[in-house]
Amino acid sequence: MALEEIEGDPHSTQLQPPYLKVYTGPTPNGFKITTLLKLLNVEFQRREMDMGKGEHKQPWYLKIHPDGRVPAISDVDVDGNRTVLFESAIILEYLADKYDTERKYSYDKSSPLYWKQMEWLVYGSANNDPVQGAAFFHILVLKTDPPGGKDAYVQQTNRILKVYNDRLVENNGWFVGDHLNIADIGIIAFLKVSVESLGIKLDAFPAVADWMKRVTDISGVGESISGA
């Protein structure tokens, strides 16, 4: 059975289930998803949204993501049943649950670390990412100061970096457990950008600096988390 992908998408194609499609763009939230899929060697179709032309605000895409943002996924099983999801944190958890069968980069519900993994993943997504997203967009894309001024963003970032640094010291250099997992992948995408856009120095946060180097040195992570 071949399925016509989402109705109205001008680049829709007939695809043979099962398949996984990732709607994304050149942004850290999208890089989180593609990084995990590459680490897991999961085949996926990349639907690059032309955000400059507002493709992510078109009616057909709003049926996938009602707020017109990236990333989102459409995961179709062998029988043609489709799961459509948006929000990078929940997409990471869904993909880990379905495709990380050996639990190399995630903890499952039978582990006491499962909820800690979700806690740090969501903390980054809810607290750090909106600050860095605004800073990134204004400073690096529009080349202007963010609303309220850059200092407010630096202050908030330093507050979050202290939380991160304390956690990494407390947990021997990892947010959760003792190796790379979806919490790290979720957190690092925007943190890397903030260091660039806000000119944050990590000298006062040595555990974060050390973690960032260790994670980006892992084969396939450094390049992918920056969009390569």
CA quadruple 223, 99, 167, 128: dihedral positive or negative?
positive
Q: Give the one residue of 20, 36, 64, 70 binding ligand GSH; rule: CB under 6 A.
A: 70
**210 binds ligand GSH per the rule CB under 6 A:** no
Q: Give the one residue of 9, 29, 118, 194 binding ligand GSH; rule: CB under 6 A.
A: 29
Nearer to ligand GSH, 27 or 165 (CB): 27
Alpha helices in 171-205 (DSSP H): 182-197
What single letter denotes the amino acid at residue 74?
S
**132 binds ligand GSH per the rule CB under 6 A:** no
Contacts with ligand GSH by CB under 6 A: the residue count is 13
Question: What CA–CA distance (Å, rounded) separates 178 from 124?
Answer: 19
User: Which residue stretch of 65-73, 149-157, 205-213, 214-222 sits at the interface with ligand GSH (rule: CB under 6 A)?
Assistant: 65-73
Nearer to ligand GSH, 61 or 164 (CB): 61
**What backbone phi and psi angles, to 5 degrees, belong to 75?**
-115, 120
What residues make contact with ligand GSH under the rule CB under 6 A? Answer: 27-29, 56, 68-71, 87-89, 125, 133
